[in-house]
């Protein structure tokens, strides 16, 4: 077994030469999962808390705590908005989840979401210089049911400590009530990343995919497979961006969404799905393969694959079909199989395949822009503006079928996105302070640079130790043994 490069480049080359493309794709997934478990045990998680103010002598404790800190308390008492400036509230996000729909693994119990929520916090800090804390909450009521009101009450009580709230991995239908209630009743942005975040990055990828194939958003036929929080929000944002809802069809685990779905209409908790039933699929098509006939775009956010989306669906599509298969951790069909079936552009949610359409490209920059202008909410217009910011940034680099989105290592993109979102917040009248585009861009870039230099210093001095090579070898051996 060859020595593994710690940078984890060229993962495909780690596996035996006689492995098929399907075996390599499966083995990569197993390897990454095994390495995740081993590395999280090694580090004890991904995040820690460190002071950002210096100690230059004993009396600085009296400045930062009593008696000096009394001045901070009374200043904020007299002007609550001062908390954004003289505490870390202005750059602090709570990542809140009840862990009822964690990736494709379903209900993982409240603490089961900690790995994902810490991951969100890590990406916010590394990609946009935003501080964040993982907060997995127990939403069970006395009947043993998940109660959305418990999450709502928790966030309302916690909001004075944060500049924004990132909701994550809350199962439908509770996610709709939680987001819509908190967006209106909180005085800080409350953002559901599985919904608005995934919607924003998907619109970005779609914009550029359509630019490549030479089609217009307002003329395309779109099939959306899966009708959870992600795809229903994607549909809503695509419509808001200019797509024709009558040329769109959504499918849940039962059949198509349309005005004949009395089961959805009868349950008021699914009001977001019913809105789309009223707008889309006027022919009431219930068969996915039939819906895909001559379709321009297939967007799947349903359940992990790789055999969920069928090759025959793609073969049924129109010219130069665009296929987004973004279930995590395994796409509904692997990209090589989608290409073999005729897909012209394929995107997934993973960074080890071309065209990663993943909300990691969106939420760090979007939240940073909202925080810097102290926005009271994140509007749909801000999410769509972020989509165009991502798309336009990638377009400047030169689009091709394997490059429709910026990559996570394109640092300036997050600063551009933050600045564009901040300007839209000001335009929408939800910002507490007015900054220029350049001020937001430069501040974001400064914070990103400072974060990365700090991490580099800790790595150089072994405060962040290197993983043991044996750990990587163990993960690789497990992957090869499971697939062989």
122 is catalytic: no
Pair 99, 239 in one domain = no
pLDDT tens-digit readout, 310-325: 999 999 999 999 999 9
| Mean pLDDT of the 296-312 span | 95
65 is catalytic: yes
Residue 351 pLDDT more than 90?
A: no
Give residue 86's domain range.
Answer: 82-188
pLDDT tens-digit readout, 366-418: 999 999 999 999 999 999 999 999 999 999 999 999 999 999 999 999 999 99
pTM: 0.93
Pair 258, 125 in one domain = no
Catalytic residue among 43, 52, 71, 120: 120
Q: Could you tell me whether strands 322-325 and 297-300 are parallel, antiparallel, or unpaired per DSSP bridges?
A: parallel
Residue 124 lies in a domain: yes
pLDDT tens-digit readout, 157-168: 999 999 999 999
Residue 98 pLDDT more than 90?
A: yes
Residue 25 lies in a domain: no
Pair 162, 220 in one domain = no
Mean residue pLDDT across the chain: 95
Q: Which of 246, 244, 236 is nearest to 217 (CA)?
A: 244
- Extended strands (E) in 321-463: 322-325, 345-348
> What band does 32 get if pLDDT is binned at 50, 70 and 90?
very high
Q: Which of 194, 142, 140, 187 is nearest to 167 (CA)?
A: 194
Residue 35 pLDDT more than 70?
A: yes
Pair 229, 304 in one domain = yes
Q: Which of 453, 443, 425, 411 is nearest to 366 (CA)?
A: 425
pLDDT tens-digit readout, 77-86: 999 999 999 9
**pLDDT computed for residue 467 by the predictor:** 93
Residue 121 lies in a domain: yes
Pair 176, 316 in one domain = no
**pLDDT computed for residue 105 by the predictor:** 85
Residue 3 lies in a domain: no
* Token pair 């279930």: residue: 327
Pair 97, 219 in one domain = no
Pair 249, 375 in one domain = yes
Residue 139 maps to which CATH number?
A: 3.40.50.10380
- The domain tally of the chain equals 2
Residue 1 pLDDT more than 70?
A: no
| Mean pLDDT of the 238-253 span | 96
Residue 460 lies in a domain: no
Residue 468 lies in a domain: no
Pair 169, 247 in one domain = no
Residue 378 lies in a domain: yes
Catalytic residue among 41, 65, 427, 466: 65
Among residues 135, 169, 188, the one where a domain terminates is: 188
Residue 229 pLDDT more than 90?
A: no
Residue 53 lies in a domain: no
Pair 249, 150 in one domain = no
Residue 306 maps to which CATH number?
A: 3.40.50.720
**pLDDT computed for residue 2 by the predictor:** 52
Pair 158, 230 in one domain = no
Pair 167, 224 in one domain = no
- Extended strands (E) in 83-217: 92-97, 131-136, 164-167, 190-192
**pLDDT computed for residue 116 by the predictor:** 95
Pair 205, 150 in one domain = no
């Amino acid at each position: 077994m060859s020595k593994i490069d710690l940078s984890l480049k060229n993962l495909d080359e780690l596996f035996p030469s006689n492995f098929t493309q399907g075996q390599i794709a499966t083995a990569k997934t197993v390897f990454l999962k095994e390495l995740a478990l081993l590395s999280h045990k090694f580090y004890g998680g991904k995040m820690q808390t460190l002071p950002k103010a210096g100690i230059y002598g004993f009396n600085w404790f009296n400045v930062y705590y009593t008696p000096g800190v009394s001045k901070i308390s009374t200043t904020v008492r007299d002007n609550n908005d001062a908390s954004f400036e003289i505490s870390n509230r202005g750059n602090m996000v709570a990542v809140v989840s009840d862990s009822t729909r964690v990736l494709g693994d379903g209900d993982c119990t409240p603490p089961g979401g900690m790995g994902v929520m810490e991951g969100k916090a890590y990406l916010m800090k590394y990609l946009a210089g935003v501080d964040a804390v993982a907060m997995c909450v127990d939403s069970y009521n006395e009947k043993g049911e998940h109660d959305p009101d418990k999450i709502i009450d928790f966030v309302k009580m916690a909001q004075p400590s944060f500049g924004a709230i990132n909701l994550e991995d809350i199962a439908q239908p509770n996610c709709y009530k939680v987001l819509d209630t908190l967006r209106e009743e909180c005085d800080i942005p409350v953002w559901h990343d599985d919904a608005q975040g995934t919607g924003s990055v998907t619109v970005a990828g779609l914009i550029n995919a359509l630019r490549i194939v030479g089609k217009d958003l307002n003329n395309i036929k779109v099939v959306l497979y899966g009708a959870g929080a992600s795809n229903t929000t994607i549909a809503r944002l695509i419509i808001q961006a200019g797509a024709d809802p009558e040329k769109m069809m959504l499918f849940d685990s039962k059949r198509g969404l349309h005005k004949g779905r009395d089961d959805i209409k009868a349950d008021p908790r699914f009001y977001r799905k019913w809105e789309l039933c009223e707008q889309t699929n006027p022919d009431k098509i219930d068969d996915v393969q039939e819906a895909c006939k001559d379709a321009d775009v297939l967007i799947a956010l349903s359940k992990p694959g790789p055999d969920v989306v069928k090759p025959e669906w793609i073969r049924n599509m129109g010219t130069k079909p665009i296929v987004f298969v973004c279930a995590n951790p395994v796409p509904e069909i692997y990209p090589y199989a989608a290409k073999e079936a005729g897909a012209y552009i394929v995107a997934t949610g993973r960074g080890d395949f071309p065209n990663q359409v993943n909300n990691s490209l969106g939420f760090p920059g979007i939240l940073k822009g909202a925080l810097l202008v102290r926005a009271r909410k994140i509007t749909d217009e801000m999410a769509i503006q972020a989509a165009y910011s991502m798309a336009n940034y990638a377009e400047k680099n030169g689009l091709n079928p394997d490059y429709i989105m910026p990559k996570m290592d394109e640092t300036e993109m997050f600063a551009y996105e933050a600045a564009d979102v901040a300007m839209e917040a000001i335009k929408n009248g939800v910002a507490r302070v007015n900054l220029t585009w350049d001020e937001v861009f430069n501040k974001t870039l400064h914070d990103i640079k400072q974060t990365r230099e700090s991490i580099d210093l800790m790595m150089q001095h072994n405060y962040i130790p290197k993983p043991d090579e044996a750990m990587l070898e163990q993960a690789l051996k497990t992957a090869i043994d499971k697939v062989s």
